Structure 1
Amino acid sequence: MNIILTNDDGYFAPGIQALYKALKDKCNVTILAPDRERSATSHWISIREPMVIKEQDKNIYSCSGTPADCTTLAVKGPLDLNPDLIISGINNGPNLGTDIIYSGTAAAARQAALMSLPAVAVSMASLRGPYNYEAAAQFIAANTDIFVRKADPDHFLNINIPNLDKEYDVQITTPARRYYNDTIHTYTAPDKGVYCFVQGALHDVVPEANSDWAAVQQGMISISSIYIHPLNHDNNVYQKVEFTKP
């Protein structure tokens, strides 16, 4: 099996290195990941500038592009990798619920699914380290065959793993609805530019028994199957609206 590892934390990040170590003796594994941190880049793709691939070590490559770019280059680029599975992570911290809209980790897996490849996004379900990447990597390595065998072209898997050194229970979940309490702090510089800094606060979460957030709060591995196609969930509010014509 040919497995490509990518992420949004950079090819040097401890999470992706732990995955590489856990997988390298059971399959053909290659890292193709950003050359710097690309967190919260969402599904940004590079269409107006070149992307540079550099070999950092045997089977380890950096890319100047985004996580989604790395997936595209893994499939269609010059390295002749022919992936059977793309794994994005292990991310430094959680990607729960609506976080996956912003997540570069999720975007790399989504891009693979859009290209009809089995794909998994993996995150540590904690905001505090030190992270037990090795235990999380062993869980992923033990289940690669399932990820490929049960894959379908319309979904990728979003997995959040508790930062615990024990056997985990696994729950199949749905993404939680999260509300973001960000604030903007500004500074007016001598050059008259107004510099804006986003500062995040703790997120509010809609409590749902089967959500990914609820599962990790109970110390379980959360696995959500994410549909890649935009979908209108029974929102018919505009069907009877008469729009004004200019």
Structure 2
Amino acid sequence: MTALLQMRDVWVEYGDRIVLERLNLSIEEGAFVSIVGPSGAGKSSLLRLVLGQEAPTRGQILLDGQPLAAQCGPDRGVVFQRYSVFPHLTALGNLMLAREFAASPILARLFGTARRSAREDALAMMAAVGLGDAAGLYPAQMSGGMQQRLAIAQALMMRPRILLLDEPFGALDPGIRADMHVLIRRLWRQHRLTIIMVTHDIREAFTLGTRVIALDKRRHDPHAPHRFGAVATYDLALKPKDEALDTVAVAGA
């Protein structure tokens, strides 16, 4: 595998508070990286750096060997813990919106052949995440699991290379969460994604990831706790997951 994403001596500071320091990571294309660590260790800050929402205070982030643009791009998708869908649009409308904004930033509308193509792609994506019969439903009519499936489909509509997951299953019941694990693993393989997932659930990290990175502070100053940031304290490569698990049918949540 080749290095898709590299972080070289990356620091994140907010005023005099250091969140991350001396972060050096190389993430291969096709990896499923789980990020774990205590609250305040900079896990979500790391995701924002990769997404392009923030730039490092010091250091460099490279994508395909080139400096990462300090803006969100279609090559990166994100799914949050709370369902990031638009309540006033149907499930189908939510998925088509990304294509509409990309093609027409001002009007956010597609017409003719372009609209038919976007609609076909959106319906195919809905079927892929187990929402084939939910095109006309609004988010308020959907369960939590269905809304999170919709958020994942929304993130995949622009065919990103990197999918960022920020505690994506934390608000789901255990049974639905297990279904979502099967779903995300299948989509990871089918779409050949590189996934970076933040989770507080150690079992989830090891179940899904091909690599687990732990962020934490190695240095502590009781008189100035904000003056030291988190580093990668552990970086564990895991054995490939059993591909037979990806053939399990995903039940509707």
- Taking structure 2 as the reference length, the TM-score comes to 0.32
* Bigger proportion of residues as helix: 2
Q: Which has the higher contact order (CA 8 A, sep 6+)?
A: 2
Q: TM-score, normalised by structure 1?
A: 0.33
